[in-house]
Amino acid sequence: MVILPPLLMKTIKLKQKEERRILRGHPWVFSNELVFSARDFIAGEIVDVQDSGGRFIGRGYINPHSLIAVRLLTRKQEEIDQAFFTRRISAAHALRTLLGYGDSFRAVFSEGDGLPGLIVDKYADTLVVQSLTAGMDALQNDIIAALKEEYAPTAIVQRNDTSSRGLEGLSQETSVVHGAIDGLVTIEESGITYQVDVLEGQKTGFFFDQRENRLALREYVKNRRVLDCFCYVGAWSLSAARFGASEVIGLDSSEKAVTQAAKNAALNGLAAEFKKADVFDELRAREKQHERFGCIILDPPAFVKSRAKVREALKGYKEINLRAMKLLEPGGFLVTCSCSHHIDEDLFREMLIDAAHSAGRQARLLEMRSQARDHPVLIAARETQYLKCAILVVD
């Protein structure tokens, strides 16, 4: 038997005292932490990372055009090939199975599943893949092959249409790379059936990250009038209706979204009204009409795309929250969310304090929740815990 020598890997070296964060589990290497510039590397190349003394730290992919120069895939000297992705994807699947997820869930959550830059959502027999980085783009053949091996899907869609790809020097596109898609995909979550547009819907078509937060509505909506803001295809609204709300109104600026939300309500035999509206304007108008609700849900899109825009975004969050608080009846519940990792839990709570003060209301925090368990948080990387969901009683 011929024993082949180990594959020679290109290497990069860290400056002195830059390895501690990485050794403690964070998977990113920033460009200013490197001894030499990464400009001579090709975006997506696999490299080994060494500390200043030349000791191996990890293996990942590099992008010389990004502030995050290297994203680590492994702390071992192992091949990054189809077998590697099969192991990681299979381990992620096993975790979801152990946690009791059905046939629709987030199958791969980037750094949270040891595959930075890769998102995979499973919609029944259809997989939707998002490659967010040049490194994952370069490895797509192995990834698709591993997904086929693990899940045997009838279709795989690539939703490479996120604006963040521009930061990696990548184009935006959507394509079906396996099988065929004929219209909407039907899924079931927590006893409710939805039809999802995996080709043109927001993100990959649906928001699995709020699954367990929607279940928490059971305690807060029975016999109450509920206003669901930024309702998209109606998941919060239908959960409220299912849990006994006396009336449910969903608002969204997208005509297509509210039309699909109404169809999803009819599909489940649940009563809910959906209206195309600008949420900011609608909240002000309903306040002028002296309307009152027993529960209001705020699940807006990310108001902030970069750290430089945090202050501006906080103004938007404060505005919708104070308007919602003014519309709540005494003792009403506010379920309010932020999906931006640039606004951490402390900033979010401070914003809610300001909003309550400006609304002239007293708010008490009952629960501070996060993303569903199919979006596991890498404890060494706070960036992976992006979702905040506060449930308040407003007196």
Nearest to 92 by CA among 132, 151, 142: 151
Residue 337: strand, helix, or coil: strand
User: Which residues 6+ apart lie within 8 Å of 319 measured at CB?
Assistant: 280
Of the residues 229, 295, 339, 389, only one is catalytic, namely: 339
**Residue 8: alpha-carbon gap to chain centroid:** 36
Instruction: Determine whether 339 is an active site residue.
Output: yes
CB-based contact 375:109 (threshold 8 Å): yes
**How far is residue 211's CA from residue 188's CA, in Å, rounded to a whole number?**
11
Q: What DSSP string describes 156-198?
A: EEEEE--GGGGGGT---EEEEEEE---SPEEEEETTEEEEE-T
Token readout for 313 is: 């975004």
Give 58's strand partners. Answer: 49
Q: What are phi and psi of 34, to 5 degrees?
A: -90, 145
Distance CA 290, CA 112 (A): 45
Q: Which residues are catalytically annotated?
A: 339
